[in-house]
Amino acid sequence: MEKKLEKKWFAIYTKPRWEKKIDTVLVRKGIESWCPLQKVERQWSDRKKIVEEPLFKSYVFVRIDETEKSKVLMTDGALNFVYYLGKPAVIKDEEVNSIKSYLAEKEARISIISDEGFNNGDLIKVNYGVFMDKEGTVIRGGKKKVYVQLQSLGQVMIVEFPANFLTPK
């Protein structure tokens, strides 16, 4: 009887600005791939436009089993897996689901609006939303919006929260 290989999430490094292309090619190859995008307003000389940009620069996530690793690395623009302790880093389903849930929220964005209230370096705990019970460090504080650093996926993720979602640790 064949043992079914378990699929796990991994992060891959990509060439700069190749995230969306690689995501599309991987999906065409039949690999479950995800390039988290956020809407950002960009200013051109004659107009403003909302564009979708990768949330994590030079990263794409893939959900694969052991046999699919070489297929991923043979994709043009994919440089390597993100390693942790000498092995490709496995990312927990909950981490991926938290980010997907956050990006699905209507007000999901990463920006700074105010600069007083919580102080830089304050340790906080998130009390509401998809990041509930996560702890982080205030990067820029404010009365209404607070910029918080969360340790996630082995890298720093900075998320904007309404100040009333947070309490000091």
* Confidence check: pLDDT of 165 > 60: yes
pTM, two decimal places: 0.63
Q: Which residues of 73-102 are buried (b: 16+ CB within 10 A; e: fewer)?
A: eebebbeebbeeeeebbebeeeebebbeeb
Is residue 82 located within the same domain as residue 137?
A: no
Is residue 93 within 8 Å of 47, Cβ to Cβ? no
* Residue percentage of the chain with pLDDT more than 90: 31
Residue 161 structural domain: 123-168
Is residue 15 located within the same domain as residue 71?
A: yes
pLDDT tens-digit series, residues 6-40: 999 999 999 999 999 999 999 999 999 999 988 77
Is residue 152 located within the same domain as residue 87?
A: no
Mean pLDDT of 51-63: 89
Residue 58 lies in a domain: yes
Residue 43 confidence (pLDDT): 85
Question: Three-class SS of residue 144?
Answer: coil
Q: The domain that contains 131 carries what CATH number?
A: 2.30.30.30
- Highest-confidence segment of 22-31, 83-92, 118-127: 22-31
Q: The domain that contains 42 carries what CATH number?
A: 3.30.70.940
Residue 15 lies in a domain: yes
C-alpha distances in angstroms, 47 versus 43, 44, 111, 152, 155? 6, 5, 21, 35, 34
Is the pLDDT higher at 20 or at 159?
20
Is residue 84 located within the same domain as residue 15?
A: yes
Is residue 160 located within the same domain as residue 87?
A: no
* Confidence check: pLDDT of 87 > 50: yes
Residue 114 confidence (pLDDT): 32
* Residue percentage of the chain with pLDDT more than 70: 76
Residue 35 lies in a domain: yes
